[in-house]
Structure 1
């Protein structure tokens, strides 16, 4: 046990030192990837190795290839930095090594998920009666939500998809915005529906679904099983679909509404931005990430369903040896995993650390900093291509070639990190402000660097 304490302290001390270094650490990766690969490579050792030596070797191999994505000037993708309490809880979860299958394998793990799930629904204004599956990311959350949708729309048509599969099943209409996230398409592939089933709805000027076009599409199509995928937070622009109007429209046609709200659903936690997702409570299922705007460790997302029985019917299974199964669905009943890590501890800790006001403050601050980014770059003469409604900013630097060169220069410089994207046929720099630790000084420093490199 003394050896374990020393070993765990070694790992924790290094992790804490790394996190302390993030505000001034270069954001890019200066070492070439081949060197990092070589450091991890080599034949599998024949003899055992002392744990302390293993940790020391891991630190030496990994350190040059770490990306400061948890730091305050990383604006790529849509990722935050894990909160202190959530990080510590995740370390405890690894130490406790709990199997979060059900309340028999770990009463604490399931209780943490149930408590945190209730808090999440309260923050996001999702009905308290909804179920919550703790999954790995928005991909898994979208897949669970669409699996529940597939179950119910086919059950309404008299077809048991879990028993009979899709061969011979009534055809399902899937309607989604033309600017939907790619995880929607992959979920449809995994569920056996395929990408070609999607009927795309045009997007308005800032990337939100054109509800008038949705109305026309619903009227023009057949009245069979229908799933409509809406979006809270366009991955490029941050735009949110008109959820209330769209949900009411789809339900009048007997369809199921799934909302991909990987990061945009967090607007519901801010009194000043709640109007952007007005009507979200009318949907049938929702997907939302925790390791984005909530700033939890990775491997944290949530699949919500307004019908817990449908959620469990689509995702759960039974076997004679599974002691504790049955009863109200929880744990593995609501996900596609059985041997699940106890990710609910970090969620509970992160929400406890921030509280209701803290979550709202993170959302509001990131939105304000995104506008500061846009204002600073616009003042320098560069084009802000989107209406900045949440935390996403698109910037053009002239022609596509120049924009790509600026993006590459920023990534190589290391002051901050931003990615490139293609939106409406144009190459643009994409800035996502999602880290709770980012300050005005971080944004101003990054703006100055971008202006310098663009020049």
Structure 2
């Protein structure tokens, strides 16, 4: 089979999967062991490319998760827009190295344009630098590396040259309900989790600004403050005007983890809850969440481009001759890197300003609908539904776990579990552009059926509120 026919066949398999995702089981009954067994052992000789593709499809498809469908509510996962998916196929076919403008002029230029559009939509300074990375973990690591450089340089220490031994100790003041990627980034950067100073939060996970100010007053030396735009469990936002001002008053760098919530700034309706976020020093967010770009896609932004580049760019001459055009790899962790800008640009171009705002608003409205259907049937909702996140409890922790497991087994929908302030919850994340009110009603019906069976009581069928 020629390359053209092979790619057409592969694209047809992908299209079939995407088209069937709306009605397919959301989570497969086939486990990883069956896939591993089906793939067999390493063969001695070569095989025709078409045969290889067919073998992969046969082995993998029974264990694929329908996270591109409308009833996947786990891990704040988007459904991958059509234009972004097609652009990602082109990205693979074009196989461009997004290192700089010499390795691919097109990749560098498209990423530059997409970054400027992102900053405009998210309300970030136009002068901020940007790095296209794999996701929130990498984005937080890049931003905190820039923060490490900045606060140590102000203390007279060159961390890129001299490392951390002997450097002034950095204290990292964090929201007590921060995402786990913050701690992992601190470990990767050599700051360690011992540098963490947690600040009390309210029941929704918002930083207590009064305590933040008190903690900072007791911190001597370089400091970094980490705030949240959209808690991964409750969707809550920190008080940015007050928190950023308190941090800057003490000379701290402020990083905002906005993996999902930063997208609220793209909605005129929700933008007020992000007020003040633009005054921070760095921001992270994901494209494969609310922008509905295929995996993997994340963004790191920095109000101090010189600190950003000092932390991540080459210091020795390498692949010169760019004629001054911005090198994407200078602001990310990778050198040889996928040209992620193509899919991001395509998603933004398909949606436009109004389409993105509508997507964000609709997901939030559907989350409120989901919470209302469950609450009307006696389910405890554990958060104020201010974004697209819903926490649901069904009694004690063990009962909640059993209801969650039954829903996951049903195949109608899929959502994960979480532990929040000492209790177990079902966490529902409405993030896909494909999700409709009918999908929410159907999923809520599956949840309530499991709850009814578990509790042994009769409930009316789920329907529109």
1:401 is the counterpart of 2:379: no
Q: 1:254 and 2:247 equivalent?
A: no
Q: Report the Cα offset of residue 319 of structure 1.
A: 3.8
Specify which of 47, 64, 75 is matched with residue 62 of structure 2.
64
The two structures, once aligned, show a CA RMSD in angstroms of 1.1
Tell me what 1:289 maps to. 286
Does 2:374 align with 1:377? yes
Instruction: Show structure 2 runs of 5+ residues with no match.
Output: 453-465
Residue 154 of structure 2 aligns with which residue?
Answer: 156
Partner SS, residue 441 of structure 1 = helix
Match of 2:333 in 1: 336
1:136–1:82 distance in 2 versus 1, CA, 3 Å: same
Task: Give the C-alpha shift of residue 14 in structure 1.
Answer: 0.9
Deviations 1:271-305 (A, max 9, x none): 11111111011000000100001000101110000
After superposition, the Cα gap between the structure-2 partners of 1:273 and 1:407, relative to the gap in structure 1 and judged at 3 Å, is: same
Q: Which runs of 4+ in 1 moved over 2 A?
A: 318-321, 323-330
Retained in 1: the 8 A contact 2:101–2:326?
A: no
Alignment deviations for residues 60-88 of structure 1 (CA, whole Å, 9 cap, x no partner): 01111100111100001110011000000
Aligned residue for 1:143? 141
Cα deviation digits, residues 182-224 of structure 1 (max 9, x gap):
00000000000001110000111211111111011112222x1
The whole-number CA distance in structure 2 between the counterparts of 1:341 and 1:215 is 41
Shift of 1:379: 0.3
**Is the CA contact 2:225–2:253 (under 8 Å) kept in the aligned structure 1?**
yes
Partner of 1:438: 435
Contact 2:100 2:326 in 1 (8 A): no
Matched, 1:322 2:319: yes
Aligned to 1:99: 97
Taking a change above 3 Å as real, the CA distance of residues 35 and 318 of structure 1, as seen in their structure-2 partners, is same
Please state whether the residue corresponding to 1:35 is helix, strand or coil.
helix
Separation in structure 2 between the aligned mates of residue 142 and residue 425 of structure 1, nearest angstrom: 26
Task: Give the drift of 1:325.
Answer: 5.6
Contact 1:133–1:330 (Cα < 8 Å) also in 2: no
Name which of structure 1's ranges 370-379 and 202-211 shifts more when overlaid on structure 2. 202-211
Q: 1-side partners of 2:195 and 2:323: how far apart?
A: 35
CA contact under 8 A between 1:173 and 1:198: conserved in structure 2? yes
- How far apart, CA to CA, are the structure 1 residues paired with 2:448 and 2:248? 49
Q: Counterparts of 1:388 and 1:330 in 2: how far apart (Å)?
A: 41
Q: Is the contact made by 1:318 and 1:325 (CA closer than 8 Å) also made in structure 2? A: no
Which residue in the other structure is 1:35 paired with? 34
> What corresponds to 1:76 in structure 2?
74
Correspondence list, 1:289-368, <5 A: 289-324=286-321, 327=324, 329-368=326-365
> Separation in 1 of the partners of 2:242 and 2:327?
32
| 1:214-233 to 2 correspondences below 5 Å | 214-222=212-220, 224-233=221-230
Q: Deviations over 1:105-161 (max 9, x none)?
A: 100000000000000000000000001100000000000000000000000000000
Q: TM-score with structure 1 length normalisation?
A: 0.98
Structure 1 residue 49 displacement after superposition:
0.8
- 1:123 maps to 121
Matched, 1:274 2:271: yes
In the alignment, does 2:389 pair up with 1:392?
Answer: yes
Do the aligned partners of 1:312 and 1:329 also contact (CA within 8 Å) in 2? no
| Corresponding residue for residue 49 of structure 1 | 47
Alpha-carbon offset, residue 28 of structure 1 = 1.4
- Please say if 1:411 is aligned against 2:396: no
